[in-house]
Amino acid sequence: MSTGYRIVKKEVYSPVTYMWEVEAPDVAQAAQPGHFLMVRMDEEGERIPLTVADFDRQRGTVTVVIQAVGKSTRQMMRLEAGDRLRDVIGPLGEASHIEPRAKVILVGGGLGVAPVYPQLRAYKSCGSTTLSLLGFRTQALVFWEERFRAYSDELHLATDDGSSGHKGLVSQVLQRLLEQQHRDAQEVVAIGPLPMMQACCEVTRPFGVRTLVSLNAIMVDGTGMCGSCRVTVGGKLRFACVDGPDFDGHQVDFAELLRRQRRFQREERESLQRYEEDCRLTGRTP
Ligand SMILES: Cc1cc2nc3c(=O)[nH]c(=O)nc-3n(C[C@H](O)[C@H](O)[C@H](O)COP(=O)(O)OP(=O)(O)OC[C@H]3O[C@@H](n4cnc5c(N)ncnc54)[C@H](O)[C@@H]3O)c2cc1C
Ligand code: FES
């Protein structure tokens, strides 16, 4: 009998971005927006935290979108539909507290677009007016624009180089939306790289709009025991894996988090180099 969790579908969005739908009926049954999974490719693999980007309870599948940034996520990119993952543990973390809001602005930056999607759908299904703002470096990296359109009252696309939609950073577009016709937004959800989330929080702060961010602190066990994902929120120590990953962005100590995020850079670089060397010697594509 085959063991593990079968990848039922794979889509490649760019040379470094891919999507998997994975058969995991129990996980799909319990998944909510904001949850994440701990995925292990094989017996030797490290645990990789990945946000639930979608779930289908009927089909028993969960969707993740992954950016190949280092050894494990590059190695995982080689798996295809039909292959199996050793472990898919979850759902983990606190689900997002989604309540009906008159108007919500959902901001996704790069890969952060994927975890925003279940939140968008949940806000729409409880009757909120939803504005989506999706930012990418360039048009070639854009994904899920149509998925977002289906649940957005307004959709804005921005690219750093202006190759599609507004030219500029999502935080700049967010500023314009708040200054112009959307001062009445009650909530902003911003998910993406740490500097992007921090910039969005600085934009919303003077407007007094509650802003939720999802903190991708380095996680090891994902269950509150190792302390790796500690963050400071409102001057208090929190563990992103059990108290989050969603937090009030105006309370987050981003400077500390950015520092902590870089603490294994040397080991990560060495691990990737070893992997590339191994691929070179065995004639595999890294
Ligand atoms: C709650 C949460 C949800 C996440 N969701 C997604 C997602 O949906 N899609 C996605 O592509 N990535 C997601 N990430 C980030 C992803 O887990 C890392 O990119 C991955 O672990 C990198 O492993 P690597 O071996 O490929 O790269 P490495 O070379 O090991 O690391 C590259 C960078 O990834 C980060 N990182 C490394 N290890 C971890 C770790 N154990 N936990 C968190 N960050 C780490 C560090 O910033 C590091 O500099 C999420 C992280 C967290 C904490
Ligand atoms: S990952 Fe270990 S405490 Fe959060």
pTM metric for this prediction: 0.91
Nearest atom of ligand 1 to the alpha carbon of 244: 1
At residue 100, the pLDDT reads 87
Residue 237: band (very low, low, confident or very high) from pLDDT cuts 50, 70, 90: very high
At residue 2, the pLDDT reads 63
Average pLDDT, the chain: 92
Query: Roughly what angle, to the nearest 10 degrees, separates helices 194-204 and 170-179?
Result: 20
Ligand 1 centre distance from Cα of residue 246 (Å): 16
Q: Which of 66, 38, 42, 63 is nearest to 52 (CA)?
A: 63
Q: Which of 36, 164, 166 is nearest to 88 (CA)?
A: 36
Nearest atom of ligand 1 to the alpha carbon of 261: 47
Residue 3: band (very low, low, confident or very high) from pLDDT cuts 50, 70, 90: confident
Whose C-alpha lies nearest to ligand 1, atom 19? 69
Mean pLDDT of 10-26: 95
At residue 187, the pLDDT reads 96
pLDDT, tens digit, 9 for 90 and up, residues 185-206: 999 999 999 999 999 999 999 9
At residue 50, the pLDDT reads 96
Residue 286: band (very low, low, confident or very high) from pLDDT cuts 50, 70, 90: low
Residue 1: band (very low, low, confident or very high) from pLDDT cuts 50, 70, 90: low
